[in-house]
Structure 1
Amino acid sequence: MTIPAPLTGVVPPVCTPLTPEREVDVPSLIRLVDHLVNGGVHGLFVLGSTSEVAYLTDAQRRLVVETVASHVAGQLPVLAGAIDMTTPRVLSHASAVTAAGADAIVATAPFYTRTHPAEIARHFRLIAARSSVPVFAYDIPVSVHTKLSAELVLELAADGALAGLKDSSGDLGAFRSVVTGARAHPDITGFTLLTGSETVMDSALALGADGAVPGLANVDPAGYVRLYDLCVTGDWERAGAEQERLCALFGMVGAGDPARMGGSSSALGAFKAALHLRGIIDCPATAEPQVPLSGGEVERVGKYLAGAGLL
């Protein structure tokens, strides 16, 4: 389907359910998509960080996109990550996910290699020139070690190389610069601005963001849709209360013991444990070499769900 310009609303970065053998669990993935659609979300983003894209083989990536795109069958736009280190590898992924049914691709700046801002701009322009679908930039400096500047994003948006930005930088001030710059630029129309934050979605929408890509929306899609609707209607008091409820629920990402696992293992493990406890996916396994949550840590996740009225 054609991606709306701008794309608005809640676009969850879809978790990738895995079997105990670490293969893609297709039936669980379909149930998860149904859970999100029934929660009222406005689009789906597969093969992002919350999808464990960095851990999936090329065949697994393609299976995820084919499964989701086929199942939603044009009901919602499907964005797919084409995440890799350099332009040739991103172009290969972009071709694969587009052939598998993605309506747009999402790409980061190059990483591992040391690149100049002019090379990052060239990277996105080359992707856009060879893509048959819109290209969204994914600003996630914690993973790629490069922050996309407001100037670069606005330049690429004005050139038509980028259709939107998913901002996971954690820098609300920088995001504000992009939002205000895009709204004021005479050559930028229909540019999508999405925050990746679970905890300041109301603030980002108040600044002028079009929507959000919160990983926690896998667990509580209806809550994030409710928050979005309250913000759109200007009911900021109730929106603030709903954001606070979701902030409390987001505490589950700290369920894992930092003495034995990284933050990714803890956060993704918590999301998957929550989905398993809610009966949506069959197995809470995360991809290797991430460390699984213990039984006690899973119990902690359950307490967060109960506190939010989800269990």
Structure 2
Amino acid sequence: MTDIAQRSPQVFAPALTPFNADLSVNSEAFIGFCRWLVSQGAGLAVFGTNSEANSLALEEKIALLERLAEAGIPADRMIPGTGLCALPEAIALTRAAVALGCAGTLTLPPFYFKPASDDGLFAYYAQIIEAVGSDRLKLYLYHIPQFTGVPITCALIERLITAYPKTVVGIKDSSGNWENTERMLREFPGFEVYPASEALLEKALPLGAAGCISATANVQPNTIARALKAWGTPEFDALQAELKVVRGIFQAKPMIPALKHVVAKAFGDAGWDHVRPPLVAADASWAEGLMAELRDARFDMGAGQ
């Protein structure tokens, strides 16, 4: 496992995926956006929840990873989401990520067959690890039970890191349950625990959190990165307060359409409003209010035109 004391906390953005009007992936806009996120100090958790990952085909994901690598986006700044219900597809996507030199993979549990036992989930992760068969694989678990209905328990974490201590190195906790995040931080020192919200940094960092993997890192990556660097200084408190306000505004809206709408405005590209069904694009009934709230908060994405 990574010695957290040896490195600084990081922010990763589950990078939004832009679509054309026909709902095909706009790979050029995707590359440009990922390049911007990296320039702002964020790593890339591409194919995360807010990337609309489960609306993307396996072939699309592999092609986008390859396009990012060809464009010179540093692979060591990427931890793509590779968890899929079909085990062969999860293995194939994980292999592709490892082959490209990605820093790790963020791997959802299979979520269709419920209830899923810890034995079954252990077997799923073990099959991926054994099939990929590379000591370069660094696997991050992804706990988001409100979407998957399949929790990753502390007992399962213990079992996985005992069996694969150099491979299963961390977790993103998107449960929204601080008590759960705190328990992981306390029970597994040296295990990289990433809360899913920058609003939790003031509580998580003192316990050794590895940073955050946050939806709103898509729109305030630089402020989060600055806050992480300022941890332990008076500047952190001011930045944390700013981060909480913006996070709260987005959390009160349909998150993915809201993020895409703000990115569309910031980059002057209305195409960013496109989402794949069953999601629905930002609606004027709330989108105008969202922009007004952000203006009142003096929010500036800093993307330029």
- The reply on whether 1:300 has 2:292 as its aligned counterpart is no
Deviation at 1:99, TM superposition (A): 4.5
After alignment, is 75-84 or 208-217 more displaced?
Answer: 75-84
Q: Distance in 2 between matches of 1:254 and 1:182?
A: 29
Report the equivalent of 1:199: 199
Q: Find the counterpart in structure 2 of residue 239 from structure 1.
A: 236
Query: 1:238: Cα distance to partner?
Result: 3.7
Shift of 1:77: 2.1
The residue type equivalent to 2:256 in the other structure is L
Identity %: 22
- Root mean square deviation of aligned Cα: 2.4
Asked if residue 248 in structure 1 is aligned to residue 245 in structure 2, the reply is yes
Residue 186 of structure 1 corresponds to none
Q: CA deviation at 1:289?
A: 2.1
Q: Distance in 2 between matches of 1:32 and 1:4?
A: 29
Q: Give 2:67's aligned residue.
A: 67
Query: In the superposition, relative to structure 1, how do residues 241 and 218 fare at CA in structure 2: closer, same or farther (>3 Å)?
Result: same
Alpha-carbon distance in structure 2 between the residues aligned to 1:308 and 1:250: 13
* Structure-2 change in CA distance of 1:93 and 1:174 (3 Å): same
Q: Provide the residue aligned with 1:273 in structure 2.
A: 261
1:149 maps to: 153
CA distance in 1: counterparts of 2:269 and 2:82, whole angstroms = 25
Structure 2 match to 1:259: none
The alignment status of 1:104 with 2:104, answered yes or no, reads yes
Alignment-mate amino acid for residue 181 of structure 1:
E
Contiguous gaps of at least 5 residues in structure 1: 184-188, 257-265
Paired letter, 2:158: L
Q: Secondary structure at the match of 2:168?
A: coil
Does residue 160 of structure 2 align to residue 170 of structure 1?
A: no
**Alignment: residue pair count:** 290
The match for 1:309 among 290, 299, 303 is 299
Label 1:267 to 1:247 Cα distance change in 2 as closer, same or farther (>3 A): same
Counterpart of 2:125 in structure 1 is: 124
Tell me, in whole angstroms, the C-alpha distance in 2 between the residues paired with 1:140 and 1:177.
Answer: 16
Q: Is the 8 A contact 1:154 1:181 kept in 2?
A: no
Q: Report the TM-score when normalising by structure 1.
A: 0.84
Q: Is there any run of 5+ residues in structure 2 with no aligned partner, and where?
A: none
TM normalised by structure 2 equals: 0.86
- Tell me the distance in 2 between the aligned counterparts of 1:57 and 1:44: 19
